[in-house]
């Protein structure tokens, strides 16, 4: 590629781009700003896997070139070595003015490529990587990711993250300037949302409780199903994928609530809010099993609220900062089955209470303003690329 064909931004990511609302939002902002972007997406696949059922195709991103590379579905240092090798090779073939590392796993490759063409590096810290669930009880794994992040975070020209608690932690741990906090808030869409039914045969006379996102351990999924026999007049919908889908269906059948627990495949993030808006309550129930969960500010929390849904959420510090001041739902102790069941019963039984919470939702976006987040993101890039 000749130097005159240099991209403005090379955007590196590991994971499913269609379901990564944060990455898609950032890519659209860069495209709208007239920047030329190459996206390199590393996808983990088993040796005999060609595609994951239920996942949407790659999104249409005008002005962006999207390339995918495959890495074996591994974990820990072996996963990182293969990912780094393949991502580094792809990025070294991509002269760019800035390299955007969407997560720690692609940061070293982005920095290697940036050094090769005298470019800037943006590091988007989407999680506390040394403190995710997979490192619990594994001190060597935690040490590996801590040392890796310590080595590379200080070389970044700009550091972004998802919430204030993580920003403070990163600054204290690594001695870097406090990262720019860019909350995972959906972009505002003009006009009212047009709700799309989550499932064709849901009883319109019941209250629909929605859990969207992956069904995984320590996210309250099993507790939600366990509550349903005691929550009358409601249906529970899981919108997404994940390893617990079949076990949750079996649990619902064993409890006699299979007709009131539904499973819906993931939808493209561009259409997500329209599906979300057809529910009555959103739930996000992370359990306090690791520091990353304790400091989390889940995408789905803002997605529910942007779609007009009040929430039932875990009483964790960052989540409380969104829910409590504006009174947009109920908080319950993480992992407390009785507290969750009581919260669901109370919310389902009272339309007037849900209506009050819905009226209060605009208050949230006065503080957590999506336009301010977008402007800050673009200001950072303008400063780096000028």
- Domain ranges for the chain: 3-185+369-385, 207-367
Model confidence at 198: pLDDT above 80: yes
What is the mean predicted confidence (pLDDT) over 114-134? 95
Average pLDDT over every residue of 137-158? 95
For the stretch 273-315, pLDDT in tens is: 999 999 999 999 999 999 999 999 999 999 999 999 999 999 9
Task: State how far the Cα of 43 lies from the Cα of 40, in Å rounded to an integer.
Answer: 10
Q: With H, G, I as helix, E, B as strand and everything else as coil, classify residue 242.
A: coil
In whole angstroms, give the CA distance from residue 273 to residue 300.
10
Q: 149 to each of 39, 90, 105, 129, how far by Cα in Å?
A: 22, 21, 9, 8
CATH class in words for 207-367: alpha beta
Side-by-side strand order, sheet with 96-102:
64-72, 37-45, 7-14, 96-102, 120-125, 158-161, 180-181
Token digits of residue 352: 């007037």
**Cα–Cα distance, 125 to 134 (Å, whole number):** 17
With 0-12 CB in 10 A as exposed, 13-18 as middle and 19+ as buried, what is 137? exposed
User: Other CB atoms closer than 10 Å to residue 37's CB: what's the count?
Assistant: 22
Give the Cβ contact number of residue 283 at 10 Å.
31
How would you class 342 by CB atoms within 10 Å of its CB: exposed for 0-12, middle for 13-18, buried for 19 or more? Answer: middle
CA distances from 196 to 21, 200, 275, 299, 347 (A): 19, 10, 5, 20, 22
For 56, the 3-state DSSP assignment is: coil
3-7, 88-92, 161-165, 378-382: which has the minimum mean pLDDT? 3-7
Calculate the CA 126 to chain-centre distance: 8
The CATH number of 3-185+369-385 is: 3.40.50.2000
Q: How far apart are CA 300 and CA 283, in angstroms?
A: 8
Indicate whether 190 pLDDT > 90: no
The closest of 82, 18, 71, 65 to 42, measured between CA atoms, is: 71
Query: What is the rounded average pLDDT for all residues in the chain?
Result: 92
DSSP secondary structure of 65-113: EEEEEEEES--HHHHHHHHHHHHHHHHHT--EEEEEEESGGGHHHHHHH
Alpha-carbon distance of 21 to 15, in angstroms, equals 12
Decide if pLDDT at 48 tops 80.
Answer: no
Q: What's the pLDDT tens digit per position in 56-68?
A: 456 778 778 999 9
pLDDT score recorded for residue 372:
95
Residue 313 phi/psi, 5-degree rounding, is -140, 160
Q: What pTM was computed for the model?
A: 0.92
Classify the phi-psi angles of 171: left when phi > 0, otherwise alpha if psi is within -120 to 50, otherwise beta: alpha
Q: Is residue 91 a contact partner of residue 13, using CB atoms and an 8 Å limit?
A: no
């Amino acid at each position: 590629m000749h130097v005159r064909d240099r991209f403005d931004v090379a955007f590196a990511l590991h994971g499913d781009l269609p379901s990564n609302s944060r990455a898609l939002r950032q890519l659209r902002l860069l495209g709208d700003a007239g920047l030329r972007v190459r996206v390199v997406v590393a996808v983990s696949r088993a040796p005999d896997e060609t595609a994951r059922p239920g996942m949407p195709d790659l999104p249409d991103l005008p002005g962006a070139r999207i390339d995918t590379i495959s890495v074996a579905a591994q974990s820990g240092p072996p996963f990182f070595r293969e990912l780094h090798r393949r991502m580094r090779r792809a990025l070294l073939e991509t002269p760019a003015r800035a390299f955007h590392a969407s997560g720690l796993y692609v940061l070293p490759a982005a920095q290697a490529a940036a050094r090769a063409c005298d470019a800037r590096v943006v590091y988007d810290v989407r999680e506390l990587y040394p403190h995710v669930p997979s490192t619990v009880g594994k001190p060597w794994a935690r040490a590996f990711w801590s040392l890796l992040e310590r080595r590379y975070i200080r070389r970044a020209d700009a550091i972004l993250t998802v919430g204030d608690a993580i920003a403070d932690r990163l600054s204290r741990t690594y001695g870097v300037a406090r990262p720019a906090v860019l909350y995972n808030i959906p972009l505002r869409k003009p006009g009212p949302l047009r709700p799309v039914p989550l499932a064709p045969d849901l009883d319109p006379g019941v209250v629909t409780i929605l859990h969207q996102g992956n069904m995984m351990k320590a996210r309250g999924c099993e507790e939600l199903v366990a509550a349903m026999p005691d929550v009358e007049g409601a249906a529970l919908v899981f919108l997404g994928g994940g390893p617990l889908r079949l076990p949750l269906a079996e649990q619902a059948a064993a409890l006699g609530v299979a007709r009131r627990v539904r499973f819906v495949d993931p939808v493209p993030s561009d259409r997500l809010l329209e599906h979300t808006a057809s529910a009555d309550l959103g739930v996000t129930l992370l359990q306090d099993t690791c520091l990353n969960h304790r400091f989390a500010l889940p995408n789905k929390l803002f997605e529910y609220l942007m779609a007009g849904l009040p929430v039932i959420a875990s009483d964790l510090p960052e989540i409380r900062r969104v829910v409590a001041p504006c009174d947009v739902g109920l908080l319950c102790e993480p992992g407390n089955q009785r507290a969750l069941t009581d919260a669901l019963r109370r919310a389902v039984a009272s339309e007037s209470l849900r209506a009050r919470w819905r009226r209060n939702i605009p208050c949230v976006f006065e503080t957590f303003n999506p336009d301010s987040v977008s402007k800050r993101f673009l200001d950072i890039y303008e400063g780096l690329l000028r």
